[in-house]
């Protein structure tokens, strides 16, 4: 089992953070309440970070180092080209919460780790 994530005074297992992120559409929630309450913003962001780290390590392979390259983000069109599918397939995955993504300036962005996990889950 992976080490739990510390989220604003509460310890949550990373898999639970990912479940919450997907099940309750935290991407939309974070965007809709951003700036209303700094504590809520910080908590939702911490849950998101733990969920994304869990996706990065979902294969449970031990890492020699924790040094990671900067996160690369893909647009739905770039993600589709990388997977050899149509952009509509990617957008449907986002809409159905099978592919974690974030909206940046009204445009979807998909982190590399999420795209790689999505590829493994659909293979």
Contact 44, 31 (CB under 8 A): no
Interacting residues of 115 by C-beta distance below 8 A, sequence separation 6+: 74, 79, 82, 83, 99
Q: How far apart are CA 8 and CA 39, in angstroms?
A: 8
For residue 87, pLDDT over 80 is answered with yes
> Does 78 lie in the same domain as 109?
yes
- Give the pTM: 0.44
Q: Domain range holding 84?
A: 71-123
Of 61, 80, 106, the last residue of a domain is 61
Give the integer Cα–Cα distance in Å for 99 and 92: 9
Per-residue pLDDT tens over the stretch 22-54: 777 777 777 777 777 777 777 777 888 888 777
pLDDT of residue 9: 66
* 91-99: long-range pairs with CB below 8 Å, 24+: 93/118, 97/22, 97/23, 97/25, 98/22
Residue 31, in any domain of the structure: yes
Instruction: Confirm whether 66 is domain-assigned.
Output: no
CA atoms of 105 and 5, how far apart (whole Å): 28
For residues 89 and 35, membership in a common domain is answered with: no
Please indicate, yes or no, whether residues 8 and 47 belong to a single structural domain of this protein. yes
Q: Which residues contact 38 (CB under 8 A, 6 or more apart)?
A: none
> What CATH number is associated with residue 97?
1.10.1660.10
- In the chain, the number of structural domains is 2
* 56 in the same domain as 96: no
Which pLDDT value is given to residue 70?
54
Instruction: Check if the beta carbon of residue 88 is closer than 8 Å to that of residue 77.
Output: no
């Amino acid at each position: 089992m992976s080490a739990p994530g510390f989220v604003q005074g509460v310890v949550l297992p990373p898999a639970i953070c990912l479940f919450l992120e997907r099940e309750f559409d935290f991407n939309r929630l974070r965007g809709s309440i951003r700036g209303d309450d700094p504590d809520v913003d910080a908590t939702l962001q911490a849950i998101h970070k733990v969920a994304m780290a869990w996706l990065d390590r979902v294969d449970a392979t031990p890492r020699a180092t924790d040094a990671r390259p900067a996160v690369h983000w893909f647009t739905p069109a770039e993600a589709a080209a990388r997977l050899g599918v149509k952009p509509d397939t990617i957008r449907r995955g986002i809409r159905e919460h099978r592919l974690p993504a974030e909206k940046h300036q009204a445009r979807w962005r998909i982190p590399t780790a999420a795209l790689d996990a999505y590829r493994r889950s659909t293979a």
